[in-house]
Structure 1
Amino acid sequence: MTTFLAILLVAAMIAVVVVLVRGLVVFLASATEDVKNGGDGPSAAALKSNKMMQYRIFFQAIAILIVVLILFLASGR
């Protein structure tokens, strides 16, 4: 069970990193687009960047819950 949770934890941490990097790339692209165009309101790229950061927070919460579960199971032994 602990091995399974460790694998899930690694997968969650990888998901956090992937979403973070993707969100940063989208953010930089949207910032460049906004500077060039001087747009009114958020662009589609800015909204996508915001969504990616929301996914990052979601995956971080999952990773934290898995760590808590692993610690809980380890303390019961």
Structure 2
Amino acid sequence: MYAATNFIAAIAIGAVFLVLLAGFANMIRGGNPNLSQKLMRWRVGLQFVAIIVIIGILWLRR
């Protein structure tokens, strides 16, 4: 069970990281500001999901 929950947490954290990198890449290139806003919103949403996943995992392991 620990391996599966660790994998799920890693996927959630990895998704946040990838969106963060995409936002940095867009900013460094001087890309579309609307895309930067969209990526920031996605990052915030994914961070929320990742926190909920991690809290759920910790709750299940108690």
TM-score with structure 1 setting the length: 0.70
Q: Which consecutive aligned stretches of 4+ in structure 1 deviate over 6 angstroms post-superposition? A: none
Matched, 1:71 2:53: no
User: What per-residue deviation string (whole Å, max 9, x for no partner) do you get for residues 15-64 of structure 1?
Assistant: 1111001111112223xxxxxxxxxxxxx700001111111111111110
Q: Which residue does the alignment assign to 2:22?
A: 22
Unaligned runs of 5+ in 2: none
TM-score with structure 2 setting the length: 0.84
Aligned partners of 1:2, 1:68: CA distance in 2, in Å?
14
Bigger-Rg structure (1/2) = 1
Number of aligned residue pairs = 62
Q: Is the 8 A contact 1:13 1:63 kept in 2?
A: yes
Q: Is the 8 A contact 1:29 1:45 kept in 2?
A: no
Matched, 1:53 2:37: no
